[in-house]
Amino acid sequence: MISRLNLLVQIAVRNLLASTVNLLIGGLILFGTLFFVVIGSLLDSLNQSMARSVIGSVAGNIQIYSSASRDDLSLFGGMGGDPDLAAVNDFPKLKAELEAIDNVKTVVPMGNSGALITAGNIVDVTLERIRNLVRSGEGASVDQALNALSSTERKARLDSEIAHLRQIIAVLEGDAKKARAILSETAVEPEALAALEKVSTDAFWQQFDDKPYDALEFLENRIAPQVTDAQMLFIRYVGTDLDAFQRSFDRMEVVDGQPVPPGQRGFLIAKFLYEDQLKLKNARRLDKLHDAVAVGRKIADDDELKRFVRENRSQTRDIVLQLDGLQTKVFVEKLQKFLGSSEKELPTLLTSFFETTDANLEARYGFFYRELAPLLQLYRVRVGDTLTIKAFTRSGSIQSVNVKVYGTFAFKGLEKSPLAGATSLMDLMSFRDLYGYLTVDKKEELAELQKSTGAKAVDREHAEDQLFGDDGATVVAEATPGVIQEDAQLTGMGRKLRQEDLLKRVYTPAEINQGVVLNAAVMLKDGAKLDQTLAAINALSEQKKLGLKAVSWQTAAGMLGQIITVLRWVLLFSVGFIFLIAMVIINNAMMMATLQRAQMIGTLRAIGAQKSTVLGMVLIESLVLGVLFGGVGMLLGSAIVAALHSHGIAAPNDVAYFFFSGPRLLPDASAASLAVAIGLILFVTVVSTIIPAVLATRVSPLRAMQADE
């Protein structure tokens, strides 16, 4: 048996290169294997990279949420906005149940939502500083640094801020008069111009010392609205246990500032959002120009980069308004020296400075950040500021909370990704407040209200008797499990002071976990066992009536996560189409080869070769073709993938950073994909050869003798 097999292999090898048809078949096998190895490796690597991005940034390996939710979970939003998720009420119980599953490492509570923040304009910011200085001078507790100032230092600071405000007013008045002269008399309302003229007089400011709050109120109501540089920004955020989140998502790192102290309320802004939306526009456009030129783009040839230059030259007002008299003088001197100009007007100097080209960009970019940026407030929101965040509760009313910005953060390798950098982080207590759920603080507030008013809680079944019965009981409010009544909140200064106290409160882990969440990330010990763990969680939920739905990171990512599935189907269709064509060509080629060798096959049959021998000869020949050329194709494909890995495939844009899990995709050819490639090509080759092989067994010895004649 072995000797017969050896003979068939020797015949197959001898015939391998004897025919150009075999070379055609071999080339087809080589190309198909190479294509499958390269494209398959790229898609596998892309899938793994995207998995690292989604799992490491917000999703975890598995996401869980209430099975009673009206929509499916979509962490990155859907076509219709945020999904409508029902609350998971008892998170501590849920966490304990899930962490008892062997492969579950930890469970991190979450809730996704969005809110509006408003960064005040330059007049608002300056007025706030002046107001705090006035209050500090009256003995009010404002800020530790301000309270520590001597009366002389405080007066000097106040005079400087007032001088800055007067300079801003002078710029606004000049702009208003130019607009009326150039455009029309109605370009600026007479009342607005009259207000500007009033606050430009010395008489207005001479009265400031006697009635500062009256002057501040006038400035706030009549002058601040005339400055249009205030920014309202919609931000997406995840409410979570911030300490647990940072421990579990190891790609997260704080870039500016510090982590939110354990147990405290606070906010971390995504670094990408911070740079892209909250930075001074002139500085941000300079950054974009610098980054684009660094990767080979040319300002002279790029319309987008030319637009950035035009906008920087024409939009210098934000910088001018930030500077007081002394700072303006310093700016002018620095720019005159750098540009070699005698121009004295700051707007004109800035316009000349921002005339950036490929030749001068590097020098001007360095000068801006070295000499000018230290005198500017580059960000509308700074680390250490307290943000007022407003959002719709699930009942439709508007709720707001004050949270301190402790810093900015990014995910390693995804610093330039808009997808990973669009979501900020908020403590779970503030999230529950914004979403309208009962928190520890609201429970305490309700208890205090009940105590002070003599109210008592009754259940719904006895509410009518209590309200209209004869026992004389008075019901102030009916308790609603899990929900706070928004109209019962403290308002005005009382609420502001209460929230200032909340910023300093430290919550225990039990208080943070106690209460509702919308979803949770499940981190696994072994990500390869994801499917088994999913099945275990869903089985546990059904068995213990937990009311949970568990989905993989890919499903939780929504449309974003389905991109890989689509790409896989495209690959399968492409490979199937190529191999279908290959099967037809190989079949026809083998038919031709069989007909060409009819004499040889007939001779073999004449000297006693059995049909099985002929069949084996043809099939082994096709297998040798497949192994040889498929092996070469596999080696060439692996070499191409290795070359791509060593150089990396650069992300063509910021969106691709997320899919590549970094600036470059580093593909790898796995042993599994190589085995599938060679197995598939051998299967196609053998199947294509069956019919020609069967036909070969039907060649009779008579055919060989006829050919001899």
Give 100-146 as a 3 state SS string. CCCCEEEEEEEEEEEEEEEECCHHHHHHHHHHHHHHHHCCCCCCHHH
Q: How confident is the model at residue 65 (pLDDT cuts 50, 70, 90)?
A: very high
Which two structure tokens, joined as six digits, stand for 87? 């609350």
C-alpha gyration radius of the chain: 37
- pLDDT attached to residue 495: 46
Q: What is the pLDDT of residues 435-447, one digit of tens each?
A: 776 555 555 555 5
Instruction: Tell me how far apart the alpha carbons of residues 291 and 707 are, in angstroms, rounded to a whole number.
Output: 76
* Phi, psi of 524, rounded to the nearest 5 degrees: -105, 150
Burial bucket for residue 598 (CB in 10 Å: 0-12, 13-18, 19+): middle
- pLDDT attached to residue 394: 66
Q: Are the C-beta atoms of residues 519 and 88 closer than 8 Å to each other?
A: yes
Q: Which of 92 and 395 is assigned the larger pLDDT?
A: 92
- pLDDT attached to residue 482: 42
Which two structure tokens, joined as six digits, stand for 112? 């996704």
In which residue are the tokens 């010395």 written?
202
CA-closest candidate to residue 376, choices 122, 120, 143, 155: 122
Show the domains of the chain with their CATH numbers: 2-53+562-708 (no CATH), 59-118+516-559 (3.30.70), 125-229 (no CATH), 279-378 (no CATH)
Read off the pLDDT of each residue in 376-381 and give the average, rounded to a whole number: 88
- pLDDT attached to residue 231: 62
Q: What is the pLDDT of residues 304-317, one digit of tens each?
A: 999 999 999 998 98
Average per-residue pLDDT in the chain?
Answer: 79
Give the lowest-confidence range in 268-282, 451-465, 666-680: 451-465
DSSP state of 71: S
For 263: left if phi > 0, alpha if psi spans -120 to 50, otherwise beta; the answer is: left
Instruction: Tell me how far apart the alpha carbons of residues 537 and 95 are, in angstroms, rounded to a whole number.
Output: 12
Q: Are the C-beta atoms of residues 30 and 639 closer than 8 Å to each other?
A: no
Q: How confident is the model at residue 468 (pLDDT cuts 50, 70, 90)?
A: low
Q: What is the pLDDT of residues 628-671, one digit of tens each?
A: 888 888 889 889 999 988 888 888 777 778 888 888 888 888 77
- pLDDT attached to residue 477: 44
E-only strand ranges, 202-337? 231-240, 252-257, 267-270
Percent of the chain with pLDDT over 90: 26
Q: What is the pLDDT of residues 221-239, one digit of tens each?
A: 888 887 766 567 788 899 9
Instruction: Tell me how far apart the alpha carbons of residues 562 and 570 are, in angstroms, rounded to a whole number.
Output: 13
- pLDDT attached to residue 432: 87
Instruction: Tell me how far apart the alpha carbons of residues 435 and 88 are, in angstroms, rounded to a whole number.
Output: 13
Which two structure tokens, joined as six digits, stand for 563? 């991109």
Q: What is the pLDDT of residues 125-170, one digit of tens each?
A: 788 888 888 888 777 766 666 777 788 888 888 888 888 888 888 8
Q: What is the pLDDT of residues 670-703, one digit of tens each?
A: 777 778 777 777 777 777 767 666 666 666 666 5
Q: Pairing relation of β-strands 104-119 and 62-66? A: unpaired
Measured between alpha carbons, how far is residue 153 from residues 76, 136, 142, 147, 167 in Å?
50, 12, 16, 11, 21
Q: Are the C-beta atoms of residues 106 and 523 closer than 8 Å to each other?
A: yes
DSSP character string of 246-312 = HHH-TTEEEEEE-PPPTTS--EEEEHHHHHHHSB-HHHHHHHHHHHHHHTT--GGG-HHHHHHHHHH
Instruction: Tell me how far apart the alpha carbons of residues 666 and 288 are, in angstroms, rounded to a whole number.
Output: 26
- According to DSSP, the residues that pair with 519 across neighbouring strands are 65, 110
In which residue are the tokens 């060593």 written?
646
pLDDT tops 80 at residue 597: no
- Other Cβ atoms within 10 Å of 17 Cβ, number: 11
Burial bucket for residue 123 (CB in 10 Å: 0-12, 13-18, 19+): buried
Give the lowest-confidence range in 7-11, 79-83, 497-501: 497-501
pTM of the predicted structure, to 2 decimals: 0.74
In which residue are the tokens 């400087």 written?
160
pLDDT tops 70 at residue 257: yes
Instruction: Tell me how far apart the alpha carbons of residues 291 and 275 are, in angstroms, rounded to a whole number.
Output: 13
266 CB contacts (<8 Å, ≥6 apart)?
Answer: 242, 260, 403, 404, 405, 406, 426, 427, 503
614 CB contacts (<8 Å, ≥6 apart)?
Answer: 601, 604, 605, 693, 696, 697, 699
701 CB contacts (<8 Å, ≥6 apart)?
Answer: 602, 603, 605, 606
Measured between alpha carbons, how far is residue 530 from residues 477, 492, 503 in Å?
48, 50, 39
Q: Which of 11 and 109 is assigned the larger pLDDT?
A: 109
Q: Pairing relation of β-strands 423-427 and 231-240? A: parallel
Which two structure tokens, joined as six digits, stand for 333? 């001197």
Which two structure tokens, joined as six digits, stand for 428? 């779970």
HSE-up (13 A, CA, CB side) for residue 511: 17
Instruction: Tell me how far apart the alpha carbons of residues 559 and 563 are, in angstroms, rounded to a whole number.
Output: 7
Read off the pLDDT of each residue in 7-30 and give the average, rounded to a whole number: 66
